[in-house]
Chains A and B, each alone.
Chain A
Amino acid sequence: MSLLEVVDLEAGYGDVLIVRGASIHVEPGEIVTIIGPNGAGKSTLLKAAFGLIDIASGTVRFKEQDVTRMPAHRLVEMGAAFVPQTDNVFPRLSIRENLEMGAFRRKGGTTERIEELLGRFPDLGSRPGEQAGRLSGGQRQTLAMCRALMLDPSLLLVDEPTAALSPAARQDLFRQIQSIRDSGVAILMVEQNAREALEISDRGYVLVNGAVALEDRAEAMLTNEDIGRMFLGRSEVTG
């Protein structure tokens, strides 16, 4: 049983169709990475799956239930979470308040969960009152991810978490993602740093022009000549 299943999705902005018939799926406990050129529609695909933009046709199923066009807050209730590519924290709220917002749907235990996450990520834990707008890029990503984890989701969608990070911070973040997966959360991630992302992934998709051009196991993708040339940097292609 797939945790998330997107079938023949068509979606876009205003007058323009961006995602044109993409189909992907995520199994429980997997890390799945979507790579593709700029403007391919990767972010749009995630947003549409999460009910944030107009869907023209196709279906989205989560935990066997049709969630096409369902408002995002309902998906959150069902156990999905999303970390957008940009603007993914509330800049004028404190770190603690950002986390509280992640638990808006939670009835009790919010404080405990916040303490737990702040303990796990000392970068944030040392100053919970700080305004999120003042944090560094890496800290923001961590905060955004923690916010998404507040409700113990079973699926986490992450859009280019390492886009603005230094190599060291990137390493940290990929380690965090692995540890999140190890705690039982399936992850669907869009990444530009394809090699590092695929190295921690189970499977991958290549999205081109709004449609899936290729789908394979991550190891296979890492050794695929075409992918190597286009997304992993030619010189880095290893046998």
Chain B
Amino acid sequence: MDFVQLIIIGIVVGSVVGLGAMGLTLTFGILKFANFAHGDMMTLGMFTAFAVLGVVRGPTLEPFSIPAGLILAVLVAGSAVALLAASLDRLIYRRLRRRGSALITMAIASLGIAIMTRAVVQLIWGPLPKRYSGGINPSWSIGELRVKPDQLLIVGLTLVLAVVLYLLLYRTKLGKAMRATADNAQLADVAGIDTERIRQATWAIAGFLIAAAGVMFALQAQLRYDAGFEFLLPMFAAVILGGIGNPWGALAGGLIVGISQETSTYWIPSGFKAGIPFVLLIAMLIARPRGLFGSTF
């Protein structure tokens, strides 16, 4: 395939990775542990949206292939995963925090939650792949290049959510308190910030973002119960590339991961492209573990 075409695909894939990674880096920066359930929350998000589409579909929104109901579906799936993530914090992580458990213990708990979530998805929706719509999405041609409207939608929504996240973090009291908590949680406590509420809000925001990423992914591909888990490593690679706790870094990292992964198929068999995020991750850990942009945000 043409190299520039591969870059376009890379940007689309990278947007999905970046969208999910922004949520992952927020929890990493504020809760301080790696959340291994993030990928399976993505799966849950895409399937919840699928369920909503089963009830409310509406007409197809030309020129995209998506039905109108998908707008509602994203909101419902985002809210559902947000609520679930915040509840899990209350039920599980908060107990561990209060007890002074090691952060690494929370990481193991998150893996347990990941396994449970994947099981729940299979129990509700069965083992077979699903699709949002049967319709094909004809490409627009720009000279030699071809772009699908759906792909533009994915990139566009990612950018919109990134801007919203920026405004939230820098213009609202909640967002500033989130940054303060990431900076120094004990001082945030001292200053009178109810950091437990901040943590819950962080989970909710991360949950919303990852659900949205799940839906965006499923616009282009089949919904599978292990689809989100396969995104976990690329998302972590993006988080580390961008610097832990840095959402813009995570978005940029996601694009780097997506583009390198897709363009690699220009030189190597596409079966090996799954190794690219891993290589990037290791290279980054060797060269600059703080990330390309540091963890300032």
Q: A residues touching B (Cβ–Cβ < 8 Å)?
A: 14, 50, 52, 71-73, 76-77, 82, 84, 87-93, 97, 100-102, 104-105, 147-148, 151
Size of interface on B: residues with Cβ below 8 Å to A? 20
Q: What is the bound-complex CA distance between A141 and B194, given in angstroms? A: 23
Taking the closest CB of chain A, its distance from the CB of B108, in whole angstroms, is 21
In the complex, are the beta carbons of A88 and B193 less than 8 A apart? no
A-B pairs, top 8 by smallest CB distance, nearest first, are: A76-B192, A90-B183, A72-B189, A105-B192, A104-B193, A90-B180, A73-B192, A101-B180
Q: Which of B30-38, B140-148, B171-179, B273-281 contacts A (4 or more CB under 8 A)?
A: B171-179
Q: Given A84-B187, A104-B173, verify A90-B179 contact (CB < 8 Å).
A: yes
In the complex, are the beta carbons of B186 and A101 less than 8 A apart? no
Taking the closest CB of chain B, its distance from the CB of A54, in whole angstroms, is 8
Determine if B165 is an interface residue (Cβ-Cβ < 8 Å): no
Taking the closest CB of chain A, its distance from the CB of B98, in whole angstroms, is 11
Taking the closest CB of chain B, its distance from the CB of A153, in whole angstroms, is 10
In the complex, are the beta carbons of B189 and A101 less than 8 A apart? no
Residues on A with C-beta less than 8 A from B177 are 101, 104
User: In this complex, what residue of A is CB-closest to B176?
Assistant: A97
Q: What is the bound-complex CA distance between A76 and B100, given in angstroms? A: 23
Q: What is the bound-complex CA distance between A90 and B188, given in angstroms? A: 8
In the complex, are the beta carbons of A88 and B192 less than 8 A apart? no
Residues on B with C-beta less than 8 A from A93 are 176, 179-180, 183
Taking the closest CB of chain A, its distance from the CB of B143, in whole angstroms, is 44
Pairs A–B under 8 Å by Cβ, sample size 30? A14-B100, A52-B189, A72-B189, A72-B190, A73-B189, A73-B192, A76-B191, A77-B192, A82-B190, A84-B186, A89-B187, A90-B187, A90-B188, A91-B183, A92-B179, A92-B296, A92-B297, A93-B176, A97-B176, A97-B180, A101-B176, A101-B180, A101-B191, A102-B191, A102-B192, A104-B177, A104-B191, A104-B192, A148-B191, A151-B192
User: In this complex, what residue of A is CB-closest to B245?
Assistant: A92
Set B100, B184, B192, B297: member contacting A90, Cβ < 8 A: B184
In the complex, are the beta carbons of A101 and B296 less than 8 A apart? no
In the complex, are the beta carbons of A72 and B297 less than 8 A apart? no
Q: What is the bound-complex CA distance between A88 and B93, given in angstroms? A: 26
Q: Given A92-B296, A92-B297, A104-B173, verify A52-B179 contact (CB < 8 Å).
A: no
- Kindly list 8 other residue pairs between chains A and B, CB separation below 8 angstroms, not including A71-B189, A91-B184, A101-B193: A14-B100, A52-B189, A73-B194, A84-B190, A88-B187, A90-B183, A93-B179, A102-B191
Residues on A with C-beta less than 8 A from B188 are 90, 101
Interface string of B187-211 (1 = CB under 8 A from A): 1111111110000000000000000
User: In this complex, what residue of B is CB-closest to A103?
Assistant: B192
Interface string of B110-128 (1 = CB under 8 A from A): 0000000000000000000
Taking the closest CB of chain A, its distance from the CB of B232, in whole angstroms, is 27
User: In this complex, what residue of B is CB-closest to A97?
Assistant: B176
Most chain A beta-carbon neighbours within 10 Å: one of B183, B192, B193, B296 = B192
Residues on B with C-beta less than 8 A from A90 are 179-180, 183-184, 187-188
Set A72, A91, A97: member contacting B192, Cβ < 8 A: A72
Taking the closest CB of chain B, its distance from the CB of A59, in whole angstroms, is 21
User: In this complex, what residue of B is CB-closest to A91?
Assistant: B183
Interface string of B234-268 (1 = CB under 8 A from A): 00000000000000000000000000000000000
Taking the closest CB of chain B, its distance from the CB of A97, in whole angstroms, is 5
Taking the closest CB of chain B, its distance from the CB of A69, in whole angstroms, is 12
Residues on B with C-beta less than 8 A from A71 are 189, 194
Taking the closest CB of chain A, its distance from the CB of B293, in whole angstroms, is 13
Residues on A with C-beta less than 8 A from B176 are 93, 97, 100-101
Q: What is the bound-complex CA distance between A148 and B189, given in angstroms? A: 12
In the complex, are the beta carbons of A52 and B183 less than 8 A apart? no
Most chain A beta-carbon neighbours within 10 Å: one of B100, B189, B191 = B191
Taking the closest CB of chain A, its distance from the CB of B148, in whole angstroms, is 39
Residues on B with C-beta less than 8 A from A148 are 191
Q: What is the bound-complex CA distance between A104 and B180, given in angstroms? A: 11
Residues on B with C-beta less than 8 A from A102 are 191-192
Taking the closest CB of chain A, its distance from the CB of B193, in whole angstroms, is 5
In the complex, are the beta carbons of B173 and A100 less than 8 A apart? yes
Q: What is the bound-complex CA distance between A93 and B176, given in angstroms? A: 8
Taking the closest CB of chain A, its distance from the CB of B114, in whole angstroms, is 30
Q: What is the bound-complex CA distance between A71 and B189, given in angstroms? A: 8
In the complex, are the beta carbons of B186 and A52 less than 8 A apart? yes
Interface string of B52-91 (1 = CB under 8 A from A): 0000000000000000000000000000000000000000
